[in-house]
Amino acid sequence: MAAGLSAQLIESLLTPGRIAGLLFLFVLSSFIVDFTSKPRYGKSLPLVGSGDGVVGTVKNWIFYMPRFNIWVAEGYQKYTKHGRAYVTPSSPSRPNEIVIPQSHVNWMLELPDRVLSTKEAHQDVLFGDYQFLGTDDQFPIKTIHKHLARNIISLIPGVQEEIHAAIDAAFGTDKENWKTFNLWETWLKIIPRVTNRILVGANLCRNEEFLQSQVAFADDIVRNSFILCMFPRIFHPLVAPLIVLSNRYHWHKGHKTAQPTIAKRLHDMARKDSGDPAYQDWQAPEDMLTWLIRQAKIEGLHDELTSQQLSKRLLPVEFAAIHTTVITLHHLFLDLLSADPSLGYLETIHEETSQAYRSANEQWTKESLMNLHRTDSAIKESMRLSNFATALTHRKVIAPEGITHPNEGWHAPYGAVLMIDLAGTHHDGDIYENPNQYDAFRFARQREELQKKVASKVDGDHQKEEDVLKMKRLGMVTTSGEYLPFSHGRHACPGRFFVAHELKITLAYLLDNYEIKPIKERPKPMWLGATIIPPVDTTIEVRRRRR
C-alpha cells in the first residue's frame, strides 16, 4: 500500500512538463556556475563582440562559431594595430581570451612555463584530458626534440621513397587520359602513409587498416573539440566520456593492428640491450616508435614500455602531423593552381626542383632541399596567406597570483588565456605588401636582393653579417612575431624541419611527374569558431607526364 502511494506521488510530481523545467533549470544553472567561475578582466582591457553583460555573453556564445574570426579581425584593426591588448569572446567552455599585440609578444613568450603554460593551453583547446585517453603530448614532444633533428638526414631517403610510391598509388600512371581527383581525399591517401613512415616504419605505414584508424582518430579530435567547446565545463565529466567513445574505438582498432609491430620492436630492442649475440649486428629502425622506447629507457619510465601505452603516445603526434600537413598541402595547391598562369609559378618551381633533383643524382639530401629557395618561398607564402586557424600560439596563466603587464598595467588572473593573432598579423599591409595576394616568390625576391648586397660587401663588413642573418630568417622553418604558422618561441613546432622537407619532396615529385590543370577560381574556405574548414569538395584534373 505504502509503495503504491509513493509511486503515485512520484508520478504526479514528475510530469513531463516538470521534468523539462528541471532540466532547463539545471542547464541554465550550469551555464551560470561556469560563467561565474571563469577569470574576469578589468575595464582597462577593451572587449570586442556583443558585450560582457548577461545578454552580451549569451549572444557571444550563440554567435561564437560564425563570428569569432570577425571579432578578432575587428580587434586587430581597433587595438592590435595600435599596440594595445584587448579581449575577445570565446566559446561557452572557455574563458574570454586576451589578444596580445606585436609589441607584447616577446614579453609573453619569455615568461616561464610555471607562469604561462603552453601545455595547459593545448589541453584546454583540444580537451586533452578526455580526448587522448589519459595521456598528454609532453613525452612525445620531448622525444621529438631529443631524436628527430639528429636523425633527419638519415630519414630523407625513406621519406622520398614513401612519397614517390604514395603519389603514384594515389594519382595513377595513366599518361593518356586526364582524370579527376578530389584533392582533399587524395592528400589523405598520401600524407598519413608518409607521416607514418617516420612514426612506425615501412611495413605498418602501408597498412590501410592502421592508417584509416589514425585518420579517423584525428577526425574525432577535430569534431569532438567543436562539440565540447559548446558545453559548459561543469558538463564535461558527464558528456565527454560518451563523446570520446569514438576516440577509444579508433585507438583500439589502431592498436590491434599495430600491436605485433610494437611488441616485436620492444622484444628486439630488449634483446639488443641485453647483449644477445644474435642481435649483435641488428640496428633498431630510426623512427618515432624506437625513439619513444629509447627515451622511456633513458628516463627509467618502465610503465611506458607496453604496446598499449606506446600506441597512445603516438596519438598526439598522429593528430598534429596528419591534418596540419594535409591542410597545408591542400591550401598550397589551391593557391598555386588558382594563380594567374602567366606568372609561371608552377613552371619555375618545376624547373628549380627538377634541376636540383638531377644534380643530386635523384636522391634528395638536406642540403639540396635547403637550396630550393623559390620552392620554399612558394610554400611559406601559402602558409602566410592561407591560414587554418585564427591563432596557433596560446598560453594559459597558471601562476596563482596571475600576471600584470609591466607597461599597460592590465592584469590577467589565474586561468586566463593569452593568444597571438596569426590571421591578422599575416594579413597586415604594414608587414606584408599586398597581404591578401598570393605572391609565390615574395620571400625568394627578398633573398635574391640580399644576396646581391652580400656579394657587394667585403668580408668582416658588419652590414654583410646582418644581411646573411636576414637571409637565414627568410626560410619557411624560421618563426617570428610576424610569421606564426609553426607558432613561435621555445614551444614552436619541433617537427617543422621534417615537414619542410616532406612538403618540398611532395611538390617536386608531383610537378616532375604529373601535369595538373589550373583552376579558374580559388574555392573559399569556411570559418567555424577559431578554425578554417578547407573546401574539401574541390577537384583537380591530373595526368601523368609523358617522357
List the binding residues for heme: 493
Closest listed residue to residue 219, CA positions, set 533, 523, 496: 533
Handedness of CA 131, 132, 135, 136 (dihedral sign): negative
Residues of each annotated binding site = 493
Q: Is there a contact between 91 and 85 (Cβ–Cβ < 8 Å)?
A: no
Q: Return the C-alpha cell found at 133.
A: 585517453
Lookup: cell for 458: 667585403
Contact between residue 489 and residue 496 where contact means Cβ atoms under 8 Å apart = no
Q: What angle do CA 354, 355, 360 make, to 5 degrees?
A: 95
CB 533 within 8 A of CB 527: yes
How many whole angstroms from its chain centre is CA 136?
A: 16
CA 62 to chain centre: 26
Where are the extended beta strands (E) located within 103-229? 116-117, 179-182
d(CA 66, CA 494): 32
331: nearest Cα among 180, 479, 440, 493: 440
**Which DSSP state fits 448?**
H
Name the DSSP class of 389: B
The rounded distance, in Å, linking the Cα atoms of 329 and 167 is 13
Show the 3-state SS of 442-453: HHHHHHHHHHHH
Distance set, CA 219 to CA 188, 215, 453, 480, 486 (Å): 11, 6, 48, 30, 21
Q: How far apart are CA 413 and CA 115, in angstroms?
A: 11
CB neighbours of 52 closer than 8 A, spacing ≥ 6? Answer: 96
End-to-end CA distance of the chain: 93
In the Cβ-directed half-sphere of 239, how many Cα atoms lie within 13 Å? 15
Is residue 222 within a helix (H) or strand (E), and if so which, with residue range? helix 208-228
CB 385 within 8 A of CB 436: yes
Cell (9 digits) for 244 = 570520446
Burial 244-281 (b: 16+ CB within 10 A, else e): bebbeebbebbbebbeebbeebbebbeebeeeeeebee
